């Protein structure tokens, strides 16, 4: 008889296990605040966003922190600044 396991199931000796290592850092998608800080460097990031949206600096700081979602006009300004042609 063959030393094979029926139905193609590997036996414990046939499985070469590798230790799973966690990555040093899990990278997710960029957050709005991170992108805005690249486009409009601190310390004027919140002031720039507030001027674009005609709102308070405190509200812009809340957008940057992720506490509340920014309005569409801010997303649009970010996209425009990101993809503008020089």
Burial of 75 (0-12, 13-18, 19+ CB in 10 A): middle
User: Is 6 within the bounds of a domain?
Assistant: no
pLDDT (tens digit, 9 = 90+) per residue, 2-44? 555 556 555 555 555 556 666 666 667 778 999 999 999 999 9
Assess if residue 56 is contained within a domain. Answer: yes
Does 62 reside within a domain? yes
- For residue 55, the model assigns a pLDDT of 94
For the chain, the straight-line distance linking the first and the last C-alpha, in angstroms and rounded, comes to: 73
Residue 8 has what pLDDT?
58
Q: How many domains does the chain have?
A: 1
| Residue 74: exposure state from Cβ atoms within 10 A (0-12, 13-18, ≥19) | buried
Residue 17 lies in a domain: no
Whole-number percent of the chain with pLDDT over 90: 56
- Provide the 3-class DSSP secondary structure of residue 58: helix
Does residue 8 lie in a domain region?
no
Domain membership flag for residue 25: no
Nearest to 66, CA basis, from 43, 35, 42: 35
Residue 42 lies in a domain: yes
Q: Which of 50, 27, 30, 28 is nearest to 40 (CA)?
A: 50
Res 84: pLDDT: 84
82 compared with 17, residue with greater pLDDT? 82
Tell whether 71 is covered by a domain.
yes
Range of the domain at 47: 30-86
Of residues 25 and 77, the one with the higher pLDDT is 77
């Amino acid at each position: 008889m063959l030393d094979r396991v029926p139905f193609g199931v590997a036996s414990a000796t046939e499985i070469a296990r590798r230790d799973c290592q966690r990555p040093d850092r899990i990278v997710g998608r960029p957050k709005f605040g991170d992108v805005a800080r690249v486009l409009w460097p601190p310390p004027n990031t919140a002031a720039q966003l507030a001027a674009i949206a005609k709102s308070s600096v405190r509200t812009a700081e809340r957008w940057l922190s992720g506490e509340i979602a920014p309005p569409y006009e801010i997303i649009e300004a970010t996209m425009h600044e990101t993809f503008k042609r020089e």
